[in-house]
Structure 1
């Protein structure tokens, strides 16, 4: 299993974000009702990310199994759900400000840029199969029925079933640990504990 701590996330450029988060947690502990409201999107987001990471085979195959049969970007949707849950945890006007920053930044800057670059790369690697997939499967809004490529044999869905090895290769354990640490810190603060 890979080391779950991604050193790129310990970069000094993230220090202001870490300090802001610590300050909010120290000076604005969330009430318990807010914790209960924020926990579902955090858990759903973490679960969606874990499900997707266990299916994702980068570059070698076009992954269309698991959550990828329902939406093209389960990791991004899981991230924005978890981030929104943490935004709600902050509470009050700060919560509104955090969400007012997170959603437009994601929708107008981050996701469109990633969608363009990743789609171009996948189309160059997988050609018409990716074009069919992209036309049939929404980016972030899950379709109810799983997509299957009618022109592809059933056993070539790209990636197969969920695998712990892929989960590890995609560095998802570090993300899960970060989410759990954040939830635990907020939970301690809702109970009046110190950080």
Structure 2
């Protein structure tokens, strides 16, 4: 097993626990203002929406999804996560958080995406054709088109799939972080602060 493959596996396993650690550090370093919290909505709302939209289309490990947001980007769930995360970095008003977040995505999510693409390439014969038409992360402006028979489910959005993937957790998580930032803002405003100045 190569070092690259080994790191890809490790990155996939640690990304969720590392996210919780990062969240704790984030709340400690955060210095939100009303303005930064409002501006963050410009990224967080589209990010939550994109994750929900993508979750209603994807049938993980069952088929290669070509439709919905998957016609624009191969990784709409990760793109949505990035929008949410960078939105909260903006809300925190901290350059340290922004730089740490960019490093975290580079070290963890790039190898994770590469590992998942290797799996998809092995499992689905049409992946290379799909990858040639649809960018890895940053979306194309118009949807890529594929023959209808390439997607067994015809690619319609399903609330059942959205529930199956428990994507409501992203919405609840975003709400919880905004609540924590609001508490932090209140404490900062009333002189009850912690963490670095």
Q: Same fold (TM over 0.5)?
A: yes
Give 2:174's aligned residue: 179
Q: Give structure 1 regions of 4+ aligned residues with deviation exceeding 4 angstroms.
A: 8-11, 13-16, 188-194
Q: CA RMSD in A?
A: 2.7
Query: How much has 1:81 moved relative to structure 2?
Result: 1.0
Going from structure 1 to structure 2, the CA distance change for 1:60 and 1:19 (only over 3 Å counts) comes to closer
Give 1:167's aligned residue: 162
Aligned runs of 1:95-110 on 2, under 5 Å? 95-107=94-106, 109-110=107-108
Give 1:145's aligned residue: 142
CA contact (8 A) 2:89 2:97 kept: yes
List gaps (5 residues or longer) in structure 1.
1-7
Aligned mate of 1:115, from 102, 113, 116? 113
Query: How much has 1:21 moved relative to structure 2?
Result: 3.7
Aligned mate of 1:68, from 63, 67, 70? 70
Residues of 2 paired with 1:159 and 1:120: CA distance? 24
Residues of 2 paired with 1:160 and 1:188: CA distance? 42
Residues of 1 paired with 2:60 and 2:21: CA distance? 31
1:143-185: CA deviation from partner (whole Å, max 9, x where unpaired): 1111122xx3268365621111111221211122111221233
Residues of 1 paired with 2:24 and 2:46: CA distance? 26
1:29-67: CA deviation from partner (whole Å, max 9, x where unpaired): x22111121111011111111111111111111011110
Residues of 2 paired with 1:15 and 1:121: CA distance? 26
CA contact (8 A) 1:56 1:166 kept: yes
Segment of structure 1 superposing worse, 110-119 or 182-191: 182-191
Query: How much has 1:15 moved relative to structure 2?
Result: 6.1
Residues of 1 paired with 2:63 and 2:131: CA distance? 15
Residues of 1 paired with 2:176 and 2:154: CA distance? 30
CA contact (8 A) 1:56 1:159 kept: no
Q: How many correspondences in the alignment?
A: 176
TM-score, scaled relative to structure 1: 0.78
CA contact (8 A) 2:72 2:135 kept: yes
Secondary structure in structure 1 of the residue aligned to 2:143: coil
List gaps (5 residues or longer) in structure 2.
1-13, 193-197
